[in-house]
Structure 1
Amino acid sequence: MKPQSMLFTIYGEYVRHYGSEIWIGSLTKLMGEFGLSEPAVRAAISRMLRQGWLDSRKVGNRSYYSMSARGKNRLEEAAARIYKVEESDWDGRWCIVSYNIPEERRALRDQLRKDLSWMGFGMLTTSTWISPNNLSDYVKELTESYDIKDHVEMFYADHLGWSDPKELVKKCWNLDEINDAYKSFIDVYRPQFEQMADDLRQNKDVADSYCFVEKTKLVHEYRKFLFIDPDLPQELVPELWLGKEADQLFKDYYALLNPGAVRFFEDAYEVAPEQ
């Protein structure tokens, strides 16, 4: 786990539920559970500040850090996808984004591609991306924040030909590769879940620090699927799709780890002073 990715997980899982702000000393203690030194934590925080993910403030000689508006939006989007409660029927339509960004803004064009992929879009052609989910509001916010509205067009439309919808999906996403990643996740975490469930049935003590570390690792690993799984409706996934099984395993193991993990966080966390 890279320090910056770990910070995203800690903010998303804990800090945003406790006022969204945390003292650097508390972060150092929490991330120390993963063998990270204070200089490594401070370096990761500095990078996130420069990248616009964090805001900071000083109270006396103490530094407090909170997610910026941009960071909060990203965490809310991620949480909505990770902890999705129910699925709605697909209406058969596609969200389409087409762009023509000048070469002199190439870095921004590359960043847009990364963001579209993270949202769940697949590349149909070099500058045309599609998703079976209506993500137009997210795309609007993105294009406005990058000031590229003049270079982007969006549609929410029917597909009239010629590929079958599942064939269209195969052109845009490597579902076999995603399914293999889900299998690897299940192979790693199924034994861990069953072992902990057995320990709890036998009333064995499970340390809160263990729960915090393992839950953070669990969320960190499952969060990676946000970058590769387009969250396709049931109508478009293969018959032997492991996403559902992995999702249920994640929820079950999360439920076992969460109480102890929260207790450990609360022990390390100090309420930030009033503004």
Structure 2
Amino acid sequence: MNPHLAGLIARLQEQPSHTGSLIITLIGDAIMPRGGAVALSTILDLCGGLGIGSGVVRTAVSRLSADGWLVASRQSRASYYEIGAGRRGEFVRASRHIFGPSRRPHVARLTLILMEAGESREALRNRLARLGFVAWQGVMIAPERPLPPSVAANVIAVTADADGDTMKRLAAKAWRLDAIAALYAGFIETYAALVGPAERFTPRDALLTRVLLVHDYRRIMLRDPRLPEAFLPDRWIGASARQLCAGLYAALRAPSELWLDHHALTRAGPLPPADSTLTHRFADLR
């Protein structure tokens, strides 16, 4: 095993167990572009390569199935899992958030939402949070955006602007960007040493490293609101982390896909070829 990968695995084993999340990363990144179904034996093989025991993996897969993330089937004595139909949209949205550019890079104004007291207030707050709003000083704020009619009809929406420094200062406090920046700094410290060596990884080591790379990056990205440039500090470290992740992903993709071609299985045999979504990841940085 490559010593760089061995170090990443040792780091993984020092952390609290995130086996279910790791499997979601594997399925969403490597398996979904190839149809979204894979044999349990493939999951066990790859998780075993990361030092995760089969019993822990089976328990995690069962929980993911109970929550609707995966759907199980059997053929003879072999088990297979595919993404649950009701969860595919969440995988697609997560992939866009992780691998795609900010959707509103040039927005420089705020939408402020004021809500009246009432039984629907908490439900509205939750829905606004899913739309990217954050609570700040008694109002909900987000970079300017249109609201769904069903939301707009039940709130008071105001658009506001400010000078650049004021907007950046507000965003840093409201979205706690210092904490997110610290996570990105840790990501860069962990993965910068792989630049160069990653190009020489074996197919299996490349896939295992790719899983860990995307897993760690995904955990940060799910906390990152992906704010437009006008809201971010100068020389935002998240941009450097994204460049690093994109470069490593490009180096690991071909050999890791080669391992999937020859070793990953579905009910019908080898995995089908990857669709075009795989080559579109980080496309804006190329």
What's the offset of the Cα at 1:133?
6.2
Matches within 5 A, 1:167-246: 167-197=169-199, 200=200, 206-246=201-241
Q: How does 1:45-194 map to 2 (within 5 A)?
A: 45-85=61-101, 88-90=105-107, 92-94=109-111, 96=113, 112=126, 116=129, 120-125=132-137, 128-132=139-143, 134=145, 153=154, 157-159=158-160, 164-194=166-196
Does residue 260 in structure 1 map to residue 277 in structure 2? no
Post-superposition shift, 1:234? 0.5
Cα distance change of structure 1 residues 261 and 193 upon mapping to structure 2, 3 Å threshold: same
Report deviation, 1:47.
0.9
Aligned-pair identity in percent equals 22
What CA deviation, in whole Å up to 9, does each residue of 1:236-264 have, x standing for no partner? 10113111111111100111111111122
- C-alpha contact 1:122 1:230 (8 A) present in aligned 2: no
Task: Determine if contact 2:198/2:206 at 8 Å carries over to the other structure.
Answer: no
1:94–1:134 contact (8 Å) kept in structure 2: yes
Shift of 1:188: 1.6
Q: Decide whether the 8 Å contact of 1:121 with 1:130 is kept in 2.
A: yes
Q: Which amino acid counterpart does residue 78 of structure 1 have in structure 2?
A: A
- CA drift of 1:30 comes to 1.9
2:42 is aligned, of 7, 22, 26, to: 26
Deviations 1:222-246 (A, max 9, x none): 1012232110101110113111111
Q: Secondary structure at the match of 2:71?
A: strand
Distance 1:66 1:109, change over 3 A: farther
- In structure 2, C-alpha distance between the alignment counterparts of 1:39 and 1:99, rounded to whole Å: 50
Q: CA RMSD in A?
A: 3.6
Preserved contact between residue 54 and residue 68 of structure 1 (Cα < 8 Å) = yes
Contiguous gaps of at least 5 residues in structure 1: 141-148, 201-205
User: Is the Cα contact below 8 Å between 1:21 and 1:64 reproduced in 2?
Assistant: yes
CA distance in 1 between partners of 2:92 and 2:266 (Å): 22
Q: 1:46 to 1:101 in 2, by over 3 A?
A: farther
Distance change (3 Å), C-alpha of 1:69 and 1:165: farther
- Which 5+ residue runs of structure 2 have no aligned equivalent? 1-11, 13-17, 270-286
Distance 1:183 1:4, change over 3 A: same
- Secondary structure of the corresponding residue to residue 257 of structure 1: helix
- Runs of 4+ residues over 3 Å off in structure 1: 85-88, 95-103, 133-137, 152-157, 160-164, 194-197
Judge conservation of contact 2:26–2:211 (CA < 8 Å) in 1. yes
1:80 partner letter: R
Inter-partner Cα distance in structure 2 for 1:247 and 1:231 = 11
Shift of 1:94: 2.6
Whole-Å Cα distance in 2 between the matches of residues 97 and 224 of structure 1?
31
Count of equivalent residues: 250
After superposition, the Cα gap between the structure-2 partners of 1:97 and 1:184, relative to the gap in structure 1 and judged at 3 Å, is farther
* Equivalent residues of 1:21, 1:67 under 8 A apart: yes
Residue 29 and residue 195 in structure 1: after superposition, are their counterparts in 2 closer, same or farther (change >3 A)? closer
Q: Is the 8 A contact 1:78 1:226 kept in 2?
A: no
Q: Tell me the TM-score normalised to structure 1 length.
A: 0.76
**Secondary structure of residue in 1 paired with 2:265:** coil
Deviation for aligned residue 1:195: 3.5
How does the TM-score come out when normalised to structure 2? 0.73
**Displacement after TM superposition at 1:67 (Å):** 1.4
- For residues 206 and 82 of structure 2, what CA distance do their matches in structure 1 show? 24
Distance 1:248 1:192 in 2: 13
Counterpart secondary structure, 1:250: helix
